[in-house]
Amino acid sequence: DIDNETDVGDDDIDNGVSFLFTGNDTIVSALGDDTLRGYGGDDIVLGMGGNDLVYGDAGNDEVNGNLGNDTVHGGQGTDFVRGG
């Protein structure tokens, strides 16, 4: 897990499990459960098999899931779930 509340900007993490940043955040995942805790900005999980979850705040939040249960807890903005 990466918990860094002071990082500001756009972040991309490959094979990430969990992180907490401001700005536009993306997880490009391998198999497994992925959680993105985004604060502000557009937050995206590109998931493989597993349960993928986005806790979004303001911004357009999105989960592109494969097998598994995929969820977006969104705030203001347009939020999408594309399940497998």
78 pLDDT more than 50:
yes
Question: pLDDT value at position 79?
Answer: 81
Rg (CA), the chain: 11
Lowest mean pLDDT among 3-7, 23-27, 33-37: 3-7
Q: Please state, in angstroms and rounded to a whole number, the distance separating the CA atoms of residues 1 and 48.
A: 18
Helix H or strand E segment including 56? none
> Domain segments of the chain: what residues?
2-82
pLDDT digits (tens, 9 = 90+) for 50-61: 888 888 778 888
Q: What's the whole-number mean pLDDT along residues 52-81?
A: 83
Q: What is the pTM of this model?
A: 0.67
